Amino acid sequence: MKKILLYLIVACGFFLKAAGQDDLLGGLMKDDSSKVKENITTATFKSNRIINMQSVEMTGKGNLEFMISHHFGNIWNTGKGWQNVAQLFGFNAGVATTYLSFDYSVKNWLNFGFATTGNSKYETWTKIRLTRQQTGKKNMPVTIDYLGLVNIDATDGPSPNDLTWNRFSFLHQLLIARKFSEKFSLQLIPSYIHYNVVPYGYNNTNNMYSIGFGGRYKLTNKTAISFEYSRQLNGYKDLLDETASATNYKPDLLSLGYDWDTGGHIFQFFITSSTASTNISQLTTNTNDFAKGNFSIGFNLNRSYGIKKVVQTH
């Protein structure tokens, strides 16, 4: 009888202890569920570029993104009539630039890049994420990145005294984007460009400014429409070239693209009002007038590779 009572007391003790643990666990779960979670916005854009311009997106830590961007000649040039048809609307015009770029992320917020831009020019850049759109624990309505880019002109100089430092130009941008829904994202792009020596001509300026925006509208899980517009704010009119003839650049840059996610690649077919492949040339020395039909066709092809295996820690 004593043994039975002892067993009952021990059993009751276990039940009471288990009940206490359940109450404690339930309390912890309740406390955990009451905590505000961090909801970070992802996939504002599908790749590191909208069309010509950089987006706020970065490849994941330890990933390398390779991009081929190809710009053909103008679809139609005023006054050339049937020659435009003979040139296959820019595909066979003898005017084409190929942009080959590599983006590598050492951190989820830090990206480095390098590109060959055609015409013996090169670019290198750094992209830093300053804020990330999110709700919950933190409320941030937009993602903001800073982009700092250096362009190097490696063509033959006009004289032996042409200093290497004179061949550098610089681009600074703030990329301010918001994903409004699963379908629609929009980005504001203020830009500042500095030439150590102005490209050519007189009455020009070393410092140029522009403001632009770009966006993406998702059609299906695999397709989307992208668009860009940028306006040069100074340094595009009342200029003189080397022969002292009056010349003006076209301040508007307009682009429209169709994106297709193949699963392994992001393919984008676009039409744009510039045959140049670099943002610096597109935003400061564009000679195409889209009001006169000076559009060119091109495509972007992106592919990401996992270079460094990232171990997730919890």
Residue 100 lies in a domain: yes
Residue 101 confidence (pLDDT): 96
**What tokens does 168 get?**
């550098």
The domain containing residue 121 runs over which residues?
A: 40-306
Question: Per-residue pLDDT tens for 13-47?
Answer: 433 344 444 444 455 455 555 567 789 999 999 99
10-15 LR contacts (CB < 8 Å, sep 24+): none
Question: Per-residue pLDDT tens for 198-249?
Answer: 766 666 789 999 999 999 999 999 999 999 999 999 988 888 776 777 888 9
Q: What length does the chain have?
A: 314
User: Does pLDDT of 180 surpass 90?
Assistant: yes
Residue 209 lies in a domain: yes
Count: domains in the chain: 1
| Structure-token match 């710009």, residue found | 71
Q: Which is nearest to 179 in space by CA: 129, 142, 154?
A: 142
**Percent residues over pLDDT 90 in the chain:** 53
Residue 22 lies in a domain: no
Residue 224 lies in a domain: yes
Spatial neighbors of 305 by CB under 8 A, at least 6 apart, are 63, 64, 65, 66
Question: Per-residue pLDDT tens for 40-91?
Answer: 999 999 999 999 999 999 988 999 999 999 888 777 666 666 566 666 556 6
CATH number at residue 215: 2.40.160.40
Residue 2 lies in a domain: no
Max CA distance (Å), the chain = 118
Q: How far are the Cα atoms of 160, 195, 222, 262 from residue 171, in angstroms, in the given order?
A: 27, 9, 32, 32
Residue 143 lies in a domain: yes
Question: Per-residue pLDDT tens for 253-287?
Answer: 999 999 999 887 899 999 999 988 899 999 998 98
Residue 18 lies in a domain: no
pTM for the model stands at 0.82
Residue 27 lies in a domain: no
